[in-house]
Structure 1
Amino acid sequence: MTSKGDLTKARLAESMLELIQTSGFSGTGLNAVIDHAAAPKGSIYFHFPDGKEGLGIAAIELAAKQFEALIAEAATSAGNAADAARAVIVALSTIVSESDFRLGCPVSVVTLEMGAESERLRQACVTAFESWIAATATFLEASGVDAEEAGSLATVVVSTIEGAVIVSRAMRSVQPLASAADVVAMLIEQRCGAGETR
């Protein structure tokens, strides 16, 4: 059974995650997180003794789990690896467009803002990206791509999606994400086809 304290801690991380997406890490104050989470004052330092940095790490870890779940769902429901990648990008396009282009990837936001300022936050971002690359590589391998090549291709796929999210938000258009979906699907189809002919 989840305790009240655990629920408060989770709510604080969820609020931090959402506020990072809309206001950035630097623009998110602890009072705003408390208000957004409807949490008791003092609860942040009780659950996160290292303050904003620790809360930011928790938010990044939550984002990593959410995107891993999205990848897993797409891998399970799609007919092949290219369709799975396309499904992930379509889901992200929906999130970005329905938020009026206010929501993006919180991990990229923290990387750009804090990567040179906080080694702990930078490392949390690295861990998040690596988890997405690993999950993508595993699915590509299962689809017939050579293990070493799957890692490289997965890195390209994740990097392409991350860049497309940023450009889509800047342009206030999901066209960059749609273009990324086409290119990523084509790359995966080519590599899966190459694996089958070996």
Structure 2
Amino acid sequence: MARRTDTRERVVRSAARLFHAQGYHATGLNQVLAEGGAPKGSLYFHFPGGKEQLAAEAVALAGAELCAELRAVLAATPDPAEALDQVLRLLGERLVASDFTCGCPISGVALDASAESEPIRAACVEVYDSWQRVVADHLDRTDADDLAVVVLAAVEGAVLLARTRRDLAPLHAVGARLGLLLGRNAR
């Protein structure tokens, strides 16, 4: 039996998983509560801002978890091109493991709800900015901030294409081209 004090965390984690796989609009609150094993009355007790607050917190949680993983991969791999390969491998493994149903953990919410909700938009911006900072900090270049935007945008696009096509080829193509930009010698 789950402890009563972990209800809030279970609901946020369930929401993060469902938003990741289904997007914001396709995920219902009853579904989140059922998957989180939480009573209906607990939603507005823990999230007085309703689905909007829950989504913003789920985005923050999922984004922070991936950010920590990115930070660990980059810390363990000093060469930027090799680090990119490791990150793309990680993302590709997740796509395959989910049968291409789960790409970026926040993109579905960003696309579905950020135009209509300032708290959700702000949470998405914070996550993307944190990922960009991690990449920029890893690059030892004067143009690190701009290059981090290019890397993030290309990887995010490659994940979307790979998910849509159910094929890792976009990740491989982005890795090859960005690897050259990051200093890898042509193979």
Tell me, in whole angstroms, the C-alpha distance in 1 between the residues paired with 2:116 and 2:78: 43
2:104 corresponds in structure 1 to 105
Residue 117 of structure 1 deviates from its aligned partner by: 0.9
2:113 corresponds to 1:114: yes
Q: For residues 86 and 10 of structure 2, what CA distance do their matches in structure 1 show?
A: 28
* Paired position in structure 2 for 1:39: 38
Unaligned 5+ segments in structure 2 are none
The offset of 1:70, in angstroms, is 1.5
Alignment correspondent of 2:130 = 131
**Residue 92 (structure 1) shift:** 0.5
Structure with the larger helix share: 1
Superposition RMSD on alpha carbons, in Å? 1.4
User: How many angstroms does 1:4 deviate by?
Assistant: 4.0
- Partner Cα separation in structure 2 for residue 185 and residue 75 of structure 1: 14
Q: Is the 8 A contact 2:22 2:108 kept in 1?
A: no
Aligned mates of 2:119, 2:63 — CA distance in 1: 15
Asked if structure 1 preserves the Cα contact closer than 8 Å seen for 2:159 and 2:171, the reply is yes
Q: 1: CA distance between counterparts of 2:178 and 2:47?
A: 39
> Is 1:169–2:163 an aligned residue pair?
yes
SS of the residue 1:75 aligns to: helix
CA contact (8 A) 2:67 2:134 kept: yes
**What is the identity percentage for the equivalent residue pairs of Structure 1 and Structure 2?**
37
User: Which 4+ runs in 1 deviate beyond 2 A?
Assistant: none
CA distance, structure 2, for counterparts of residue 25 and residue 55 of structure 1:
10
Q: Residues 144-188 of structure 1: CA distance to partner in whole angstroms, max 9, x if unpaired?
A: 211xx1000001111111101110111010111111122222211
Alignment of structure 1 residues 1-198 onto 2, 5 Å? 4-5=4-5, 7-140=6-139, 144-146=140-142, 149-189=143-183
**Per-residue deviation at 1:74?**
0.8
Structure 1 Cα separation of the partners of residues 177 and 107 of structure 2? 21
Once the 2 structures are TM-superposed, how far is the Cα of residue 106 of structure 1 from its aligned partner?
3.2
Mapped partners of 1:46, 1:157: distance in 2: 40
- State the SS of the aligned residue for 2:26: coil
Q: TM-score, normalised by structure 2?
A: 0.92
TM-score w.r.t. length of structure 1: 0.87
Give 1:11's aligned amino acid.
R
Instruction: Report the CA distance between 1:76 and its aligned residue.
Output: 2.1
The 2-side partners of 1:63 and 1:82 are apart by: 25
Q: Which residue of 2 aligns with 1:194?
A: none
Return 13-22 or 78-87, whichever deviates more: 78-87
Partner of 1:195: none
